[in-house]
Amino acid sequence: MDQIKVDALRAQPVPTYGHLIDVQFLPASDGGTMDVLSPLDGQVLTQVAKGTVADMKTAIASARAAFEDGRWAGQAPAARKKVLHKWADLIEANALELAVLGVRDNGTDISMAINAEPGSTAGTIRYYAEALDKLYGEIATTPSDILGMIHKEPVGVVGAIIPWNFPLMIGAWKLGPALAMGNSVVLKPAETASLSLIRLAELAHAAGLPPGVVNVVTGEGAVVGEAMGLSMDVDVLVFTGSGGTGRRLMEYSARSNMKRVYLELGGKSPNIVFADAPDLDMAAKVAAAGIFRNAGQVCVAGSRLLVEASIHDDFVAAVVKATEAMRVGDPLSLDTHIGAINSENQLSQNLKFVETAQAEGGAIVTGGSRILQETRGYFMAPTILTGVTPDATLSQKEVFGPVLGVTPFESDDDAIRIANSTVYGLAGAAWTSNLSRAHKMVRAVRTGVMHINTYGGADGTVPLGGVGQSGNGTDKSLHAIEKYVNLKTAWIKL
């Protein structure tokens, strides 16, 4: 990656975007627009259409028509595979453009964005392209005069609401399996990160995806997101984001057509470090990266650091050292480790969490404030607080920012109790040289993903899903396809 090329792309003006429906850019039905503020400098980057209920209905009707006439679902698996692979080719060819556009929109540092966004997106699309013609139906065990068959059919229209932290990566987790199985998709990007998803959909059409199979409607969640949730013509709704929004989407399902709703709702993931960890220095560096990468705006972030009491002070000092070596700055600079907070509202929320943590007895050992204010961007120093009790607000509520709470523990059972003391269960980790303890932690910590002697990095071959109030269903792996198919039984008298 070349800094000169990054800077050249940074300087390019960003066009104003309408909704992408039937391969056309359409303005909002009432002409409304929303300013796109860049977190790099707080300035208006461009504008996108501010969607209305009518706009969402138009997009859903387009997706429904595309599904019903079979222009995509009716294609042979080999034909769908060809289009998806071409789409992945175009993503790779335009990777730097996509990454820079996304960074200007959401603030992720470019060194992470290039791999986490277009890089992983192309890989995800290829994964499901290769899977789609290898998923067979079943023949049931039946009496000799009966043929029982189980068919896998696409569900129809999928509504996907995508968050702002990794819009391409998480968008691909929904788009890949949904499209591979022949469904049509309506995307609703986050208000503060729409641009790269619009461009992704453009590339899908350039690869040969038929009109209406992927439509993108931008706007406020309270308007177009609600319209999607209440639609009688959306068959499955998938969402990554906050628990409050997830609850509303389930209510919308009940008030409409009882559409299936799959939710990934974040977490308060425990990173448990035992005194017998195989490499405490490495554990400290990974602990810092596990919470501070992408400025803590990661659903699986290791935001609770549980440290065995006998090594607490030394280990915290090592994490502080690793943290203070990470450079916060311009997300489009190749030597930046931590980029911007997505929005001023999110930054304000992060700082309020720090204030609350201090009021509840936590002590700041590094960070704790807004920085780089001269840029007018939204930057926060990575923050570590010690003395955070298991019942403290910082232990119980998701911050979604660069804030780490540290809590000591005395024993295995104590660590498990603290780890399981929240309503969430998305990810976690344990650092130990004891194989029995490692397996015990995997079994005992209630979470969808459990790391041992590492944190993060699980690829697309394994599922990502939570337990408790971290949601239901899974993204990634072949298991994600289950969300986008209906099982149909054929019972045939011979």
Terminal Cα-to-Cα distance of the chain (whole angstroms): 63
**Exposed, middle or buried, 2 (CB in 10 Å: 0-12/13-18/19+)?**
exposed
- Compute the distance between CA of residue 182 and CA of residue 135 in angstroms, rounded to an integer: 13
Residues 327 and 285 sit within 8 Å (Cβ to Cβ): no
**Exposed, middle or buried, 443 (CB in 10 Å: 0-12/13-18/19+)?**
exposed
Residues 186 and 159 sit within 8 Å (Cβ to Cβ): yes
Nearest by Cα to 473 from 109, 177, 228: 177
**Exposed, middle or buried, 455 (CB in 10 Å: 0-12/13-18/19+)?**
buried
In this structure, are strands 427-431 and 270-273 parallel, antiparallel, or unpaired? parallel
Examine the residue annotation and report whether 264 is marked as an active-site residue of this protein.
yes
Q: Which of 202, 264, 308, 398 is catalytic?
A: 264
Residues forming the active site: 264
